[in-house]
Structure 1
């Protein structure tokens, strides 16, 4: 049976058990983050997402109701993963941390998410649609959700939050353009060392392990 014919509603997950609806949903959203991340909202299709997830296109449409709803769900998933990572980190704060220590801990939490390149690129695709009448509002809502966590939960001042997001955006852009692929170039090494700090080596290794959709073609 080909991936295009596969429907998880009739296939067992192993040992006679079927995947739950939540697991199926996450499977499709993870695939959507890869496809939308690499191809953008206009270039991503439910057919490509179905192939990436290994399910039928009909199943994808039946679960999400179409491409825009699927993109919305994928974008909200990406933003929520950032929120969850930050809140998990903040839960370990004692209240005695200096602002620098808090921002460093949040930065490490964010950087750990780039193991999933789809999350990184899906957020960039979402933010690039700020002009869109339907999706622009979602982009702003998702960003402000993360901002409120940094300001209210982490307790950073407006100025500290501004500096944190400024560096975070540079981190995001460098990773999106795969700057670690230029490791060895003095200018690239200097820029990454200044931006990523002690995590530079780890990020370079993570990026090398990320294979673009269709092998980058």
Structure 2
């Protein structure tokens, strides 16, 4: 590997490190509450380095949101790659749902996407939110082969999954009603999701 190739690799790794940190900070605090200083501290780099690489908070949030959406697309395509010839709609949507549920157990990705969608009114972020969502829909339609009605039902269940995880419903696993709802929604991934969610903690506001 040449020095130039090594430098590019290191730069790509550093970029991913900062975007992962941005996902945590923007996820917990939203676009308005997140700062480049908090993201720099989360990533373990200087604020100047973050600004130099991304050019400010707006571009950093955009890149973080695009990263989150890309991970959903990647997860769906990974699930589609496991489709068998005999899979029916139930089999396909189950594989897609498991892939999505496991991905958004990462609270940063989950909440960054929700913050992006909540900015649909914004002149800058609104078009991005719609584009990211429609790109994902197109994967489910064109690549997974679901009909418009099947895709709509799948996304409706996905939004329930997203809402339950966003409000940390697994924290209420001891409540019989919550347990019943999660079992119906998450199925075989319920136990793993409870363990993952309970292991995640919000940012330490005193430290950031």
Alignment TM-score > 0.5, same fold: yes
Task: Name structure 2 gaps, 5 residues minimum.
Answer: 1-6
Query: Structure 2: how far apart are the matches of 1:215 and 1:195?
Result: 32
Q: More helix by proportion, 1 or 2? A: 2
Query: Structure 2: how far apart are the matches of 1:138 and 1:144?
Result: 10
Aligned match of 1:3 = none
After superposing on structure 2, the runs of 4+ consecutive aligned residues of structure 1 that deviate more than 2 Å are: none
Query: Structure 1: how far apart are the matches of 2:69 and 2:192?
Result: 23
1:3-152 paired onto structure 2 within 5 Å: 20-152=10-142
Match status 1:177 vs 2:167: yes
Query: Structure 2: how far apart are the matches of 1:99 and 1:19?
Result: 41
Q: TM-score, normalising length from structure 2?
A: 0.93
Structure 1 residue 48 displacement after superposition: 0.5
- RMSD after superposition: 1.7
SS state at 1:97 partner: coil
Structure 1 residue 69 displacement after superposition: 0.4
Q: TM-score, normalising length from structure 1?
A: 0.89
Task: Name structure 1 gaps, 5 residues minimum.
Answer: 1-16
Task: Pick closer, same or farther for the CA change 1:160–1:58 going to 2, 3 Å.
Answer: same
Task: Pick closer, same or farther for the CA change 1:203–1:216 going to 2, 3 Å.
Answer: farther
Query: Structure 2: how far apart are the matches of 1:63 and 1:96?
Result: 47
Query: Structure 2: how far apart are the matches of 1:61 and 1:83?
Result: 28
**8 Å Cα contact 2:182/2:190 also seen in 1:** yes
Structure 1 residue 137 displacement after superposition: 0.4
**How many residues were matched structurally?**
201
Farther-moved stretch of structure 1 (63-72 vs 18-27): 18-27
